[in-house]
Chains A and B, each alone.
Chain A
Amino acid sequence: MASSFVAVFEIASFAAIIVLVVLGLGIIASMMGIFNFAQGEFVLLGAYITYLASSHGIPVWIGMAAAPFLVGALGFVLEALIIRRFYAAPIVAMLGTYALSLIIREIVRGLIGGLYLSVPEPIGGSIDIGSVHVSAWRFVIIVVTIAVMIGCYLLLARTSFGLRVRATLENPALARASGISTARIYGATFAFGAALAGLAGALVVPVFSLFADLGIRFLIQGFVAVMVGGVGSFMGPVAGAAVIGTMSAALPWVMAPVIADVLVFVLAIAFIKFRPQGLLSGKGV
C-alpha cells in the first residue's frame, strides 16, 4: 500500500515535470506553427539564472521568480530579431532555432565549465507520512504545474488576449483586417512560451542539477509529447506530455529500464501511425 502510494506520487511528479517543460513548447508549436528547437535551451537558461542567483548568495526562490521574466524578455528580443523572419518557412525556422539552441547551449557550457552543479531547493527534504518519504520539492512541482496549467488555459480561453492569439493562429489575414497587430501577438506568444520554459528550468534544476545538456535531455520527449498530443490546440500537447511523462516514469517499475526507454518511443510511433492527428485534434484551446 505504502509502496504503491510512493509509486503513484513519483510517476505523477515526473509526468508533471514533462508537462511543465512541454507547456511552452506546445504553446509556440500550436499557436504559432513554429517548432522551436531552442526551447530546451530556454529551459537551460531558466536553470542557469536560478543557479546564478544561488551562487551569488541571493535566495534561490528569487532566482526562480526572476527566471521566467528574464527568459521571456530574451524570447521577445529573439522573436523580433530572428524568429520573425522565419514564419513563411517553418522548415528553415527549425534550422534557425536549432542554430540558436547550439549557440545558447555552448555559451552556457563555457560559463559553467562543462561541470554538473547542484542548486539547492527553497523547500528541501522530504514529507514523511508514516514510513513513507516523498520529496517535498517534487510535491511543490506538482502543485505549481497544475496551477500554471490552469492559468494558461484561462489565459487562452477566457481573456481577450487569448482570443486574439487564437484568431491570429486561425486566420492571420482576417485578424489583421480586424485591427489585431499579429506581429505583436506573435512576439508576445513567443515570449510567453519562452517564459514558461524559463519557469520550468528554474523549478526542475534542483532535481536534476545544472548541466549544459539539461535542455536537450527533454527536447526529444517534448516533441514526441507534442506529436502524440496533437498540434493546434493548447490541451493537445499537455495531454501528450502527461501520457509520455507517465509512461516514461511508470514502465521502469514493471520492466528492465533499457527496454522501457525504447518502448515509450515505439508506442508513441505506433500511436501516431494509427492516429496521426494526435490525442486531441482540432482547433480551439
Chain B
Amino acid sequence: MSEFPGDLSRRRFLSGFAFTAGAIATGVGSWVIRPDWANAAEGPIKLGIATDLTGPIGYAGNADANTAKMVVKQLNDAGGLLGRPIELYIEDTASNESVAVGNVRKLIQRDKVDMVLGGITSSMRNAIKDPIVARGKTLYIYPQLYEGKECTPYLFCTGPTPAQQCDEFIPWLIKNGGKKFALPSANYVWPHVLNEYARKVIEASGGEVVFEEYYPLDQVDFSATVNRIVSNKVDVVFNTVIPPGVGPFFKQLYEAGFQKNGGRLACVYYDENTLNINQAAEIEGLASCLDYFKVLTKDDPVSAKIQAAYEKDYPGNFLFAAGSAATGTYRGLMLWAAAVKEAGKVDRESVAAALDHAKITEGPGGPAEMVPGKRHCKMKMYTAVAKSGNYEIVARSEGLVDPKEC
C-alpha cells in the first residue's frame, strides 16, 4: 500500500470505485430531513416515509411527502416528541413494487426508523407490509382510502374504508339520484372488494344493481358501457374506473346525455386533483364521499389552518387532497405523535399499544380516533357535489363514522 493518500494504487482505486458505486446504488431516491436542533442524549426519533414520488401517481406521493415534512416541522418547532427531535427519512416507492421493497428495506435496515408511513395503492401496501411489519419488526401506518380487510398486527390504517364511504353516501344517492345503479369498474382489487360492500348497502337501502362490469386498467373507450347505461335507464353510475379511463368515460357519458336525462354520477375517490380531468360541464353534479374537501375550510377553522399552512410551504401542483392520502398522512402522523407522547418511549410494542386507542381533536375535516383493537380510524365523512368546477358540501356525518373493519 502506498503511504501517500493521493497516490492511486489499483486497490485504492477499486475500493474507491466500489464505494462510489455503492453510494450511487443506495443513494438515489433517498432524502433525509434533519431537524435544525438536536440536544437530546438519545438522539432524534426516526420517522420513515415510503411513498410514490415518481411514476403515474407521483402527484399523490409528493403531496404525502410534503404533508409529512409539514407535520414534522410543526412537531419539531413545538419541541419534538419526548424532548427529542424527529428526523424524517423519505424513500421513493416509484409506483413499482420491487423497487419499493428494496427502498423500504433501506429504511428498516440502514436507517433503522422507528415507524414507517406510506404506500398508496393496495398492491404497494401488500408488497411493503411484510418487510416492515414481519421481517422488519417496525410499526406501519397506511394512509390511503382503500377496500378494507387489512387486519395485520402492527399495521394501522388512517384512511376511509368502504363502510365509511358507502353507509351514508349510498342512501343519499338513492334519495338524490334513483334506485337503479351501475357499477363500472377497473379490474383490480379495490373496485372488486368495494363493489361487494356497495352492492350490499345498495340492496339493503332498496336500490338495485343493474350491472357490474370490469375493464382493463388502460381501457380508454367506453362506448359499449355508455350504451348499456343509457339503454338500461340507469339512475346512478357508481364509478370505480380510474385514470386514464375515467376521463374519456365521463366525457362519453356526458355526450350521450346521461346527466341531461337526470342521471347521477358518483365516484368515491374524486377529490380536488381529479376535478381537472374533465371539463366542468362534463362532471356537473358528480357526487363524492371523503373525509375532507377543501371547501370545508370555509366553515372549519382547523381545516383552514392546515390547508393554509400546506399551501404556504408547498404551492403548486401537489394538492393537499383526500384522494391522494394527504389527509390520511396528516391524521396518521398526528395519531402516532399522540401515541408516542402517551407511551413515553418509541419501541414498537409501547407505541402500538398507545396507538390502539389514540385520539386527535384537530385534523383535516375534524377530529379522529382509532377504534380499539381494530387498527382502523373513526372520522367524519362528507358528501360533496361538483358544481361548475368546485365542490359543494351537501351532507355531513353526525359524528365520527365507524370503519367497521377487523
The residues of A with any CB-CB pair to B shorter than 8 Å are 3, 6-7, 10-11, 14, 109, 112-118, 120, 125-126, 133-135, 207-209, 211-214, 217, 248-249, 252-253, 256-258, 261
Q: How far is the CA of A231 from the CA of B101 in the complex (A)?
A: 42
Q: Does B248 contact A (CB under 8 A)?
A: yes
What are some 26 contacts across the A-B interface (CB < 8 A)? A7-B223, A7-B224, A112-B317, A114-B57, A114-B62, A115-B273, A116-B276, A117-B276, A118-B278, A126-B255, A133-B255, A135-B252, A135-B255, A207-B251, A208-B220, A211-B243, A212-B56, A214-B244, A248-B221, A249-B224, A252-B224, A252-B225, A253-B227, A257-B213, A257-B216, A261-B216
* B55-95 contacts to A (CB < 8 Å): 56-59, 62
Q: How far is the CA of A252 from the CA of B223 in the complex (A)?
A: 9
Contact of B56 among A7, A14, A213 (CB under 8 A): A213
| B98 vs chain A, min Cβ distance (A) | 19
Inter-chain CB contacts under 8 Å: number: 104
Task: Knowing A135-B252, A217-B244 are in contact, say whether A258-B216 is a contact too (CB < 8 A).
Answer: yes
Q: Does B247 contact A (CB under 8 A)?
A: yes
A residues in contact with B56, CB < 8 Å: 114, 212-213
| B120 vs chain A, min Cβ distance (A) | 13
Tell me if A3 and B231 are in contact (CB < 8 A). Answer: yes
A residues in contact with B58, CB < 8 Å: 109, 114
Tell me if B257 and A115 are in contact (CB < 8 A). Answer: no
* B231-247 contacts to A (CB < 8 Å): 231, 243-244, 247
Task: Knowing A113-B317, A214-B244 are in contact, say whether A257-B256 is a contact too (CB < 8 A).
Answer: no
Q: How far is the CA of A149 from the CA of B257 in the complex (A)?
A: 31
Task: Knowing A113-B316, A120-B279, A257-B224 are in contact, say whether A208-B248 is a contact too (CB < 8 A).
Answer: yes
Q: How far is the CA of A134 from the CA of B230 in the complex (A)?
A: 13
**In the complex, how many residues of chain B place their beta carbon closer than 8 angstroms to a beta carbon of chain A?**
38
| A224 vs chain B, min Cβ distance (A) | 14
Tell me if B318 and A209 are in contact (CB < 8 A). Answer: no
Contact of A118 among B247, B256, B318 (CB under 8 A): B247
Tell me if B57 and A133 are in contact (CB < 8 A). Answer: no
Tell me if A113 and B247 are in contact (CB < 8 A). Answer: no
A residues in contact with B227, CB < 8 Å: 3, 6-7, 10, 253
| B310 vs chain A, min Cβ distance (A) | 16
Q: Does B307 contact A (CB under 8 A)?
A: no
Q: Does B205 contact A (CB under 8 A)?
A: no
Of all chain B residues, which has the CB nearest A14? B221
| A177 vs chain B, min Cβ distance (A) | 48
Q: What per-residue 1/0 map shows which CB atoms of B206-219 lie under 8 Å from chain A?
A: 00000001111011
Task: Knowing A208-B220, A211-B243 are in contact, say whether A257-B277 is a contact too (CB < 8 A).
Answer: no
Task: Knowing A135-B252, A258-B216 are in contact, say whether A114-B221 is a contact too (CB < 8 A).
Answer: no
Tell me if B247 and A257 are in contact (CB < 8 A). Answer: no
Task: Knowing A7-B227, A217-B220 are in contact, say whether A208-B215 is a contact too (CB < 8 A).
Answer: no
Q: How far is the CA of A258 from the CA of B336 in the complex (A)?
A: 41
| A178 vs chain B, min Cβ distance (A) | 46
| B282 vs chain A, min Cβ distance (A) | 8
Of all chain A residues, which has the CB nearest B187? A258
Q: How far is the CA of A258 from the CA of B225 in the complex (A)?
A: 13
Q: Does B274 contact A (CB under 8 A)?
A: yes
Q: How far is the CA of A133 from the CA of B213 in the complex (A)?
A: 23
Of all chain A residues, which has the CB nearest B252? A135
